[in-house]
Amino acid sequence: MTGTALTAFALTVWIYLETGSTIQFAVGFILSLLPAIALSPFAGALVDRWNRRTVMLASDMVGVCTSLSLALLSGLGVLQPWHIFITITIRSALGAFLVPALNASVTQLAPRNQLGRANGMVMTATAVSQTVAPALGGVLIVAIGLPGILTIDCVTFLLNIVILLRIRIPRPAAPKERPAGIFGEIREGWSHLATRRGLVPLLCFYAALNLAVGFVDVLFTPLVIGMASVTALGAVLSAGGVGMFLGGATMAAWGGPPKRIHGIAGLAVPLGFFLCLGALRPNIALVAVAAFGFQFSSMIIEGTSRSVLQTEVEPGLQGRAFATFNMITNTVLFTGYMLAGPVSERIFEPLLRPDGALADTVGRVIGTGTGRGSAFLILLLGVAVLIVARLAYLSRDLRALRDDVPLTAPTARNAAPKPRVDAVGSSTGH
């Protein structure tokens, strides 16, 4: 994970340094999401068909090839942005297969009562890689250059391959009957989710949070730069990274609450609170505390949501379940990315200029000037998250989710009007 995160950081930095174009930088960002979104339904169905270890091995092998190709082009001095765009597209497509295969494999490897802890371990590793990559990447890109970082990436891919070859991942039981064609399997996966009590409300809840996260991801840097230096931004990002790490570690040690609503909607309350806190005043210490709390809460929510899918969805359908969740949540995340800049720049920033329409009202509380429009928007997003958390607590289906009481039977009001094919002995979940 760390090698891949280092490479992702280095490639984005290289594009910006070589071209100086924010448009080309944004193109790379878009290409990192769109292929995964488009391929997720098909990838989920194929992950449920194929051996999941083989899927992960193939993904790592292709990853090695992409890194070697870029290292060679960079070493020869002929590397161009379009080479990197192709690589980003390929890796995004690989992620559409790798993520559901990894998440579904956890169900096959960990005892059911340890799924929360297992997910916490996976997320802790992710947090470490995402925290280390920017700090280490900034040093390494100067010390050893892009070819050196790509070489490290190749080594980590090869280590992944060696580890996977030594692990046996049990395959879920084959279904007694399978829908005709891949589109039939995609429909089967959605039907399985739609008729399981609590899963559609969970998907809607998770999508709403990701829309807010999409806005915050884009607005966060202008918010901090508007009140402090780039060095301060690094410190705040580090505080968020520590929150991610401790959130994952807490999930690994604890496993999450038995009553899953407390790990989902319950942790959304502090998440919304920390969004409001970070936007309340132009104070860098306050923002650092908010970043820590936000990331800590988000890790518990994510770990609990994964455990719910792994518990509620049959193992043979979990590839499709995770892929469906990833597709929908990534789509709303991408929507947030696209809307955040225009909404902040054209609507909220003018409102909180020193002479803006809200300068004498809202501005007296949160301040005026550069970045305070973004702060006001983040504050409103925090309030929206608190409302979503309250609505989630009002959902009887979400309140009924428990790790120790699987609700795999469809409810009467949610049952499909036609006979379903998914009552088989194998499935997989998110």
Asked if the structure places residue 198 within a domain, the reply is: yes
Residue 281 belongs to some domain of the structure: yes
429 assigned to some structural domain = no
Angle between helices 115-143 and 145-165 (to 10 degrees): 150
Does pTM surpass 0.85? no
pLDDT of residue 178: 66
Helix (H) or strand (E) holding 374: helix 372-394
**DSSP state string for 234-303:** HHHHHHHHHHHHHHHHHHHHH---SBHHHHHHHHHHHHHHHHHHHHHSS-HHHHHHHHHHHHHHHHHHHH
pLDDT score, position 175: 64
Coil, helix or strand at residue 360? coil
- Name the domain count of the chain: 1
In a domain, 415, yes or no: no
* Domain CATH code at residue 301: 1.20.1250.20
* Residue 225 structural domain: 2-172+179-399
The angle formed by the CA atoms of residues 18, 21 and 27, to the nearest 5 degrees, is 105
Query: N- to C-terminal Cα distance for the chain?
Result: 20
Q: Which residues of the chain, if any, have pLDDT below 70?
A: 1-3, 22, 134-135, 174-180, 230, 402-430
In a domain, 411, yes or no: no
The pLDDT tens digits for 390-410 are: 999 898 888 877 654 444 444
Distance CA 189, CA 294 (A): 32
409 belongs to a structural domain: no
Specify the pLDDT at position 425.
30
